[in-house]
Structure 1
Amino acid sequence: MTTFLQQLGMLAMLGFSLGGCDSTKKEQVIYKDYNLDEPDKFNMPESLFEISGIALKQGNPDTLYAIQDEDGRVYRLGWDHPKQLNAKFSKKGDYEDVTILKSSVFILKSNGVMFSFPLSEAVYEEVEQIREYKKILPKGEYEGMFGDEASGKIYVLCKNCEQDNSKSSVTGYIFEPDKDSTQATGTFAINVDQIKAITGKVERGFRPSGLAKNPLTNDWYIISAVNKMMIVTDSEWKVKEAYTLNGNTFIQPEGITFDKQGNLYISNEGDDLFSGNILKFKKMGR
């Protein structure tokens, strides 16, 4: 026969169990605008196994532009059509990101060197009107770049630079190609303490690998393959959200972009078990 004290013990254990469930629910990540657990996946052909940056022309999803971090080529693909076409713009090197601004293609090399050529030349096997920008960025390692159609500016974010302490701040640089300037016309910074206030997973520093602006909100989305994280900032670079990325879904997230409907695209470099891919996340509520 169950005693009164035994019943109290059972109730206490039940209460602890229910409390544990509530705690677990609180720890679950609720994605504000995108369900990052349910992507539409596009596996890349072998030529894009090491895909890094991706871009769309004025947010048009009909053609995806991509680069990989070994060949100096810009690739063009239709969604879910593995056959690719490409245009050679330079020799082999460590190319990290691509963006399209107005009628030009811009490519970022890991050492901060940039290349540009007319978008109209992307349909040829080899680009002729190539321009190379050297010594326009401080010495360091760069992976993220975004061309903003609205402002006509290019934003480049440092991954690992001597002038930064990635445990406290990460610097970005702004260029205005229309002014034909080879020097940055402005800077911005990501305050790592603001990320720490949301998640403690940046104790060793924040190392971004890509950035893009959401056309519906003007918020900045910044991904990090090293930290397995995506952060969201407002238009003034104040950190609003920080999400841990599931390593089973995000193998090595390197590139990020949006289409004009606000759908989010993230590219992942392949590994020993999986091919490279691009993941598409539909804007929730659509």
Structure 2
Amino acid sequence: MKMVNKIVTLIVLGVLSLAGLILFGYSEFVTKDILQDQPVAYEIINEWQLPKELDEVSGIDWLGDNKLACIQDEDGMIFIFNLETSKVEKSVEFAGAGDYEDIRIVGTTAFVLRSDGEIFEVRDFLSGNSKTKTYSNFLTQKQNLESLAWDKNNKRLLLAIKDKEPKDDNYKGVYQFSLTDKELQEKPLYRLNMEDSLLRQRETKLNKKLQPSALSIHPGNSNFYILDGRAPQLIIANSKMKFKKRYALHKDDFEQAEGLTFSENGRLFISNEGKGGKANILEIVFK
């Protein structure tokens, strides 16, 4: 009987230990956000449901004429989505399968970011005779890059680290890729401060306080808009990347917010992956 009791005790202890490990691991990913309990600070003024081929939409950019260039994180395709007809009117293949995360349009060229830091330059992407060139750099899949911004005034692209900054957990670097020499500078241009006072209302690990899934520059005031889709939030920073305002985005509206872009007159669009439901694009304004 003693042997049976001992075995039972060991089994119970083992189960409790396993449960503790699971709970600890789960807590690594849970983020509590005080702002989530407050009324929403934004209004959704337009919504577009996306077709099946964009269920995994991961990046969007404004093309003009009420059209968006969209990518998804499985296939090397650029989809042109018409906001007036709510349909994909054109698709352009630029590479094979891969984890593509963001897109920016510079003139007749599309730049696409893969999660390992590889940048794809797709020249004349709407011509029917596009040409693709790739640029490798020192970043890797460990950084898990999802955000690409076009800094028009300085002729450069900006890449923000999502997961693991190579050098320090207290910040995440924003690195510049020159459109003149096509090289990524090793020193970060900006540092997203994980200890900023605006992030203290989020109860989670330091390096999970902000995990950028999209980055864009407002065309009117040059403020940076930083989207975090995991526990959805939107950070507005000034032109020097000093945080000014933080908005919690409610899960009911933003299931998995991955893409962000502005029209030339400042309309703000955010895309959501399907994640079991239907992917969409939302146009929002802040109250």
Instruction: Give the TM-score band, short-chain normalised.
Output: 0.7 to 0.9
User: Is there any run of 5+ residues in structure 2 with no aligned partner, and where?
Assistant: 1-36
* Structure 2 equivalent of residue 142 of structure 1: 145
Is residue 73 from structure 1 mapped to residue 74 from structure 2 by the alignment? no
* Structure 1 equivalent of residue 105 of structure 2: 100
The letter for the 1-side match of 2:268 is L
Secondary structure of the corresponding residue to residue 122 of structure 1: coil
Secondary structure of the corresponding residue to residue 160 of structure 1: coil
Mapped to 1, the partners of 2:285 and 2:198 lie a distance apart of: 28
Aligned pair partner of 1:276 in 258, 264, 279? 279
Deviation at 1:199, TM superposition (A): 2.4
- Residues 68 and 95, structure 1, Cα contact 8 Å, conserved in 2: yes
The letter for the 2-side match of 1:169 is Y
Mapped to 1, the partners of 2:100 and 2:156 lie a distance apart of: 20
Mapped to 2, the partners of 1:283 and 1:277 lie a distance apart of: 19
Deviation at 1:247, TM superposition (A): 0.3
Aligned pair partner of 1:62 in 66, 81, 84? 66
Aligned pair partner of 1:229 in 212, 230, 233? 233
Aligned pair partner of 2:175 in 169, 173, 182? 173
**Alignment length, in residue pairs?**
248
The letter for the 1-side match of 2:121 is S
Mapped to 1, the partners of 2:102 and 2:70 lie a distance apart of: 8
Deviation at 1:136, TM superposition (A): 4.7
The letter for the 2-side match of 1:250 is F
Mapped to 2, the partners of 1:83 and 1:203 lie a distance apart of: 40
Percentage of pairs with the same residue: 27
Secondary structure of the corresponding residue to residue 54 of structure 1: strand
* Structure 1 equivalent of residue 134 of structure 2: 132
Is residue 50 from structure 1 mapped to residue 56 from structure 2 by the alignment? yes
* Structure 1 equivalent of residue 46 of structure 2: 40
Secondary structure of the corresponding residue to residue 142 of structure 1: coil
> CA 1:40–1:239 in structure 2 vs 1: closer, same or farther (change >3 Å)?
same
Deviation at 1:227, TM superposition (A): 2.5
Deviation at 1:198, TM superposition (A): 5.6
User: Is there any run of 5+ residues in structure 1 with no aligned partner, and where?
Assistant: 1-26
Is residue 114 from structure 1 mapped to residue 124 from structure 2 by the alignment? no
Mapped to 1, the partners of 2:263 and 2:194 lie a distance apart of: 28
State which drifts further: 88-97 or 75-84: 75-84
- Residues 262 and 283, structure 1, Cα contact 8 Å, conserved in 2: no
Aligned ranges 1:247-286 → 2 under 5 Å:
247-272=251-276, 274-282=277-285
* Structure 2 equivalent of residue 89 of structure 1: 94
Mapped to 2, the partners of 1:165 and 1:148 lie a distance apart of: 25
The letter for the 2-side match of 1:144 is S
